[in-house]
Amino acid sequence: MRVLLFFIIGCFIWTCLSFVVKVIICSRFAIKKNQHHASHPLKIILGIFGEFVSVAAAILLYPFGIFNSSVKPQAKLNKKRKGVLLIHGYIHNRSMLIPMKYYLRRRGVENVFDITLSPPFASIEHFAGLISAKVKEIKSCGIEEIDMVCHSMGGIAARYYAANSPDAGVIGNIITIGSPHLGTALAGLHIGRCCGEMKTGSSFLKDLNEKRLPGNIKMFSIWSTFDNIILPPENSIAPGSKEISFDYIGHIALVFSQSVLNKVYELIKEKDKEN
């Protein structure tokens, strides 16, 4: 019982602290706040609570994603359908997107795969190499098109892969969720090479944002005005992408939100209809 109590208190303190840091950073760097937040205090409270629950869920799921999953045998895959690769964010693993994986499968999306990017503090170039290996593994099963759905840092790794790999022609959509395409002021508070590459104004992001993706790839940036990790939240919009914004959803809560999950499903199915 004490362990559970400490766990709940710890998650709550972390969540509240992240929003306090957000307010401090926004004030220090004169980052504009979303005007809707001031007029809806109840929604702010519910948004913070939703982030708290999501942080707790992410921690509890973590042990289930330490090891990478293998692509299913060819006989179990529907080669007539495209694949969907889910890519997690900073210091998480594939377990973070387990709820999304099962949601998509329940909605009839077949060939859903995931990946664990490790070690957690490596470079984004290293993570892109892992994504490349996973894409080749999926292609070897006969799947010719892959959509990527990426949370946070996963979106940066996916973009780096797409901009630098000769195999990127297999990618249909890249759907990023709360990814720091223009960096985040909070990156200076963390550790690891990948984190340094995600700082606002980093040379890594400048170089990445100057590169053009292959013409076959459609970019979507899902982001929240309430994001407590990507500061300012608008930095989650990738250059040249179609943006979809939400309010009162925290950074971790984005991948658990029913509204966001529904939008991801719509974007995946929208491409299917075009084909």
Cβ neighbours for 153, distance < 8 A, ≥ 6 positions apart: 89, 90, 117, 124, 127, 179, 180, 194, 198
Per-residue model confidence (pLDDT) at position 80: 64
Number of domains in the chain: 1
In a domain, 248, yes or no: yes
pTM over 0.85: yes
With CA atoms as reference, report the closest residue to 78 among 167, 133, 138, 158: 138
CATH number at residue 249: 3.40.50.1820
Q: Is 125 left (phi over 0), alpha (psi -120 to 50) or beta?
A: alpha
Per-residue model confidence (pLDDT) at position 35: 47
- Structural domain span for residue 167: 65-274
Rg (the chain; Cα; Å): 18
In a domain, 214, yes or no: yes
In a domain, 84, yes or no: yes
Cβ atoms of residues 161 and 136 within 8 Å: no
In a domain, 48, yes or no: no
- Per run of 10 residues, the mean pLDDT along the chain (length 275 residues) is 85 92 75 56 94 97 87 63 95 96 95 95 97 94 94 98 94 98 86 93 96 94 96 94 97 98 95 58
In a domain, 206, yes or no: yes
What single-letter amino acid sits at 198? M
Q: How far apart are CA 21 and CA 2, in angstroms?
A: 28
**Is the preceding peptide bond at 166 cis, omega within 30 degrees of 0?**
no
